[in-house]
């Protein structure tokens, strides 16, 4: 299994962007030293309370500074842009990185984003299902002619084709049964967001495998997985820290339209939590339990939480790299 670092936002628009970039660069340097080989950056628009740097240009600059890492968009909001644009931009990033690019896409959920682009939120599923095959067709370099519900192309060829053949892997974010089945049919891998509980993740993974087998989807069963992780000397210490940072972050998710029953820190059965937290030994045991149920290709780790300073994030990453990752690298 590989490990990746998720670059997330903990600053609003009032904080100088240079500070955010500097903090991310320090986290990436430490992640590479710790054995991580993947950097993931997500996308949101019109959300000044948590500033997201747009992932494709941002990852291009990161790949130039850190030539050993793969880079992944996690995720691009596919319904808010045209597949021709994404095909060209992703191919450009794949060329820049010499084939180290992964295209993660998703349908989105924040109503303000759809309103800003003048796109009906109800159209997002159809736009994803039409957009992914169109991107793949454009990456071949052959002229594409199509007339779907949303996209009309007449003998269109892109100017840049990817280094990877037949193109960068496509990860599709999903957290409900219909969306997971869609990922099994259309994508190279299901990109697991942090919102399902451990129990829900295991159940959805079984659905994903079933859909792959019955639909004749893309080969491979391993998936990139995000889980919320917090390390501390004791469970109580971890819980106190997570209560602060997670509550703030999940309130933002709820304000943006995500639906779930709170942060789910695991007051009852461990499987009903989204978090793996406690001592390094506890975290290793928890990840082992999940990996026995859900085959991972990459584990995506996030060390940053709102309300916690940069040095706390660096200490979390250092502990994860020195006390957790070695247990999974053979």
Q: Domain of 306: which CATH number? A: 3.20.20.30
**Counts for the chain of helices (H) and strands (E), in that order:** 10, 12
For the record, the structure tokens of 290 come out as 């999940």
Which domain covers residue 194, as residue numbers? 2-328
Burial annotation 275-303 (CB, 10 A radius, 16+ → b, else e): bbbbbbebbbebbeebeeebebbbbbbbb
* pLDDT of amino acid 242: 79
> Among candidates 238, 325, 330, 328, which has minimal Cα distance to 30?
325
Structural domains counted in the chain: 1
- Residues β-bridged to residue 160: none
Whether pLDDT at 250 is above 80: no
Whether pLDDT at 247 is above 70: no
Whether pLDDT at 219 is above 80: no
* pLDDT of amino acid 270: 82
Whether pLDDT at 168 is above 70: yes
Whether pLDDT at 232 is above 70: yes
218-222: average pLDDT:
73
* pLDDT of amino acid 61: 97
Cα 241 to Cα 305: distance, rounded to the nearest angstrom: 10
Above pLDDT 90, what percent of the chain? 81
* pLDDT of amino acid 263: 55
Above pLDDT 70, what percent of the chain? 91
Whether pLDDT at 201 is above 60: yes
74-96: average pLDDT:
98
266-274: average pLDDT:
76
* 261 pLDDT tier (thresholds 50, 70, 90): low
Rg, the chain, Cα only? 19
Helices of type H across the chain: 17-33, 55-65, 83-96, 111-117, 124-139, 177-186, 198-215, 235-255, 280-293, 310-323
Whether pLDDT at 330 is above 70: no
Backbone angles phi, psi at 244, to 5 degrees: -75, -60
> Among candidates 99, 93, 28, which has minimal Cα distance to 65?
28
170-193: average pLDDT:
96
Cα 129 to Cα 131: distance, rounded to the nearest angstrom: 6
């Amino acid at each position: 299994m590989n490990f990746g670092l998720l670059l997330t936002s903990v600053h609003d628009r009032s904080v100088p962007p240079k500070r955010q970039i500097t903090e991310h660069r320090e986290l990436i340097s430490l992640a590479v030293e710790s054995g991580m080989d993947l950097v993931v950056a997500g996308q949101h628009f019109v959300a000044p309370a948590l500033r997201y740097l747009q992932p494709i240009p941002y990852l291009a600059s990161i790949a130039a500074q850190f030539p050993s890492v793969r880079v992944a968009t996690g995720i691009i909001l596919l319904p808010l842009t045209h597949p021709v644009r994404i095909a060209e931009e992703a191919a450009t990033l794949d060329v820049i990185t010499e084939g180290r690019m992964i295209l993660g896409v998703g349908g989105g959920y924040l109503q303000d984003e759809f309103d800003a682009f003048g796109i009906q939120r109800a159209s997002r599923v159809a736009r994803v299902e039409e957009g992914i095959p169109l991107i793949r067709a454009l990456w071949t370099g052959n002229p594409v002619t199509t007339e779907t519900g949303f996209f009309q192309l007449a003998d269109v060829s892109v100017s840049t084709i990817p280094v990877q053949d037949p193109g960068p892997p496509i990860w599709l974010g999903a957290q409900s049964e219909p969306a997971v089945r869609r990922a099994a049919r259309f994508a190279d891998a299901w990109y697991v967001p942090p919102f399902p509980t451990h129990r829900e993740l295991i159940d959805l993974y079984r659905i994903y495998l079933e859909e792959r087998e019955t639909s004749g989807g893309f080969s491979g069963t391993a998936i990139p997985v995000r889980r919320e992780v917090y390390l501390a000397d004791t469970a109580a210490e971890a819980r106190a820290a997570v209560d602060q940072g997670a509550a703030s972050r999940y309130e933002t998710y709820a304000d943006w339209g995500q639906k779930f029953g709170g942060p789910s820190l695991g007051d009852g059965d461990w499987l009903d939590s989204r978090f793996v937290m406690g001592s390094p030994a506890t975290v290793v045991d928890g990840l082992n339990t999940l990996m026995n149920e859900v085959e991972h290709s990459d584990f995506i780790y996030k060390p940053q939480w709102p309300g916690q300073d940069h040095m706390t994030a660096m200490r979390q990453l250092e502990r994860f790299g020195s006390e957790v990752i070695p247990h999974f690298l053979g």
